Amino acid sequence: MKILGTPLKEYIQAVGTPLLLVSLITVVQLPLFLLEFYPRTAIDPLGLLKIVFVGWAGWIVVRRHKFSLKQTTVVGLMLFMATIWFLPLVLFSFPSSPFVPRILILVIVIIINLSIYILVAIFGGWLARRVGG
pLDDT bin (cut points 50, 70, 90) of residue 132 is low
The structural domain count of the chain equals 1
User: pLDDT per residue over 74-92, tens digit each?
Assistant: 999 999 988 888 777 766 6
Q: Write out the residue range of the structural domain in which residue 8 sits.
A: 2-132
Among candidate residues 3, 2, 1, 125, the one with its CA nearest the CA of residue 64: 125
Closest among 3, 92, 88, 84 to 50, alpha carbons compared: 84
For the entire predicted model, the pTM comes to 0.85
Residue 120 is predicted with a pLDDT of 95
Q: What is the mean pLDDT of the chain?
A: 84
Q: What is the pLDDT of residues 93-118, one digit of tens each?
A: 666 677 777 778 778 888 988 999 99
* Spatial distance between the Cα atoms of 77 and 114, rounded to a whole number of angstroms: 7
Q: What's the CA gap between 120 and 38, in Å, rounded? A: 24
CA gap 14, 61 in Å, rounded: 6
Average pLDDT over residues 60-80: 91
Mean pLDDT of 36-59: 83
What is the H or E stretch that residue 6 is in? Answer: strand 6-7
Q: What does the alpha-carbon distance between residue 73 and residue 119 come to, in Å, rounded to a whole number? A: 8
